[in-house]
Structure 1
């Protein structure tokens, strides 16, 4: 370049240098813009496309707020999400530069302050003087120690095939506060932040959707795994779509076996259950049917429903299979119970009716006084038998309806009660020796005399009933200090191990060849347990050996809480 020769050349050179400086400044600005754009793209590249768990979302947002702070050189970053049920903008952790105790107590009304303004209008704002800006909530800004900042909307944008925005929905607000080194935020910061906010909104929205669906899926799976009923879904092409663990157990399929996609005929071996599905597909209507599974040992009720598509086409059949074996057994036991009770009532009534008719017909004094007295004793015993049975039924009814048993606590002499029970039961048998081993001076206890009588009467009656070949039936008692232990033993059939707890359930009777001819209501031991527990005691099978006999034990407290009535 030639040297300037005069003032004109110097002025021309100065203008040329100024132009070069402007060009350099513009290039430097473009370089900075490209660097910021690169940072933005790197930041978003670190954000995963799909976030499916809450920990993943938190980790992603942590990286996001840190990178946002770095790009716009902000000291604090805060995300607020709209809560429609409260009409508030609530903080979405994590935040940068804001203590957790402050963050957890923040709540911003969606119609107030700078946050509310941005949320309502969808327009970003720059705050240069937070404490004096009329758009800001001074208390909010003071709590966060804000001097300046930017607020931009978190906007979800739905685009068409040509990438044109066809729908926008604002889900919250992103804040950055306090630019470092005492600087102010500018329009470039707003542009970068809006771009980052749009990306963050998409990540948050998608993550919330995935997380909600995942949690709903897990909740459904937990429900399916926990229910005792079997759930089977068969598609229109007759393949298994779904089977819960209960269905695996019912069908005898290992829970580890993958059955989804297999032909239904291959998985469902029972022809009756297969027919339930076929009938539903053919008739296009729900089917309810009872079927026997597990080689006929269990009875299941099967109910089907249909899953249709939007055109009404049948896609899947859903079957609920639940075990009703116990229900059917209970129904049979109730039927047997009614039949037995009818027999138990009829037997003493027939006896009473017979003896009374005999006495009424004796107009000529054919029977002497001793014979008449014997008849009267039999009538009295049969009336007592009826009374005991009716009392048992009334107490069971009270227990079943959830009402407390009425207790009349008095001083009770166990020796006298046992003596009365043993004598009454002895009158019904000549093949047994019913022996009262309780000493006459046994300690007096506080109890309901009638209910203690019922306890002993049922235990002694059972001992006689289940000793068909006769033998001794003994009633004994031990003083344990604060409690007494009463035992009733026999030399009868004994109780197999598998029945030793079940016999205390209502309507439960042991059904085997040796007991077929033995009739009973199945409520005796059930009632004994409730009567003993009403006293604060209990009953259990203390010893039993098949073919040699059993010993039942009842423990009762000597003193009753609350005294007598």
Structure 2
């Protein structure tokens, strides 16, 4: 934002002010010296004139005072001569003239209003001091009536003989105010001239300042435009002086910055494009860990928007403040796992760190790359669980077989009652391991994509009826004579033709029916039902067994997962039947799931895509 420059902050004002203040200072210095010299000269001249007058008056009056002192008679009395002489001298700025004898008796005065003092003893202090010291006294006094300044001279008069007898004194007061008036007039003229000079200097200084600041202002505007991203302007070069060279350099700088900015913008666009289309989340921080950059993938992974993210630090946004510190990350840069949610689905992220360092080694920030390892962690966990389950499932029959074989080896084979039973158990456990390995091989082929379907168009109604009839015969065989099971069928009357692998689909139905019989109580009913939807066929098998807890309903299709492990193993299951069924159904483009109420039973649903065939098309 442009900051307004006040008038007293402007360079133009400062230059004008400096020039004017310098001129005022010089004028004051010159004026003070000039007026002081004029004052001294005028006062000195005034005093010298009065001194000359006093010397002339002294030489004229000395004879009259000698006559008065000697007491000799003459045609004219000394008082009359002195009065006549003083009358002639009055004027020319002299305001008062007095002559006193050696006893300070006033013998004459030029002031007509003071004629009564003639013949009286003078009370003037300066006359008395001159009588005592026999020295001249000069000083400036103030007229008590007019308040004008006067120059006062008291000159003692001595006889012309060798003994230089004190005859009296002459007092002269002259008006020196006129001299000071003249000095005031000269001062006023000087002040007027100074004012005119200051005004002219203001105008000239302003013109000079504008001539200097105009290119500076243009440079200011140009640099502001450069800062705002406009590099199109060009400064006018007014000369080859320092300002002209600076303008040329700014023009060159503008071109260089424009090129650099274009390069930076291009790199930024490329970086933004890379960050936007990355499948990994990227965050960048400053040296204190505050988020400054976060790409869209990181926002999605951390379920946060950019505005909120830039107000937090890295540890807070990853929610690992209790586990690691920023210092430990800066020192080791070890990867860490972060739990997060994406679209309300829990995910696991691996956070990798890298330092942003200058050439000097100063750490100015941190880059964090987030990689979604949810699937990897799930696969790794399933692998560990799978290995554990396989080891456990194989160890149980192997341990049993070893025990019976050891017993046989110890002589049990000679016992006609024990030997057949031990061999039967060993054979059953061997068959159980073979079935488990076959199931594992089948799952392996499905996982690797090598399990091919031999698709045929079959009547699904007939297939389901065949499976249910087979199991109905099985539950009425001698094997189940001690239990009373019942199978109910709700099958469609018309034929439903679907494209499936018959062997695989029968395997799926067998697995579901086997589970239903295993977990049904004595006297329980197993219901098989078939429904036709708009574009799917839905098969359901319901039992009245112990049911599946809600916490386990979504896990029953996992490999080796059992709700009741002890009971399932006792019934001979491998824990892979439902996992194989799920894979086979999904290979057919269908879907399998379960719905259960604990203590009341479980219903398995099998949904397959169905495309109706027209009769003529089938024919």
What TM-score does the superposition give when structure 2 sets the normalisation length?
A: 0.43
What TM-score does the superposition give when structure 1 sets the normalisation length?
A: 0.47
Give 1 or 2: higher helix fraction. Answer: 2
Q: Which has the higher contact order (CA 8 A, sep 6+)?
A: 1
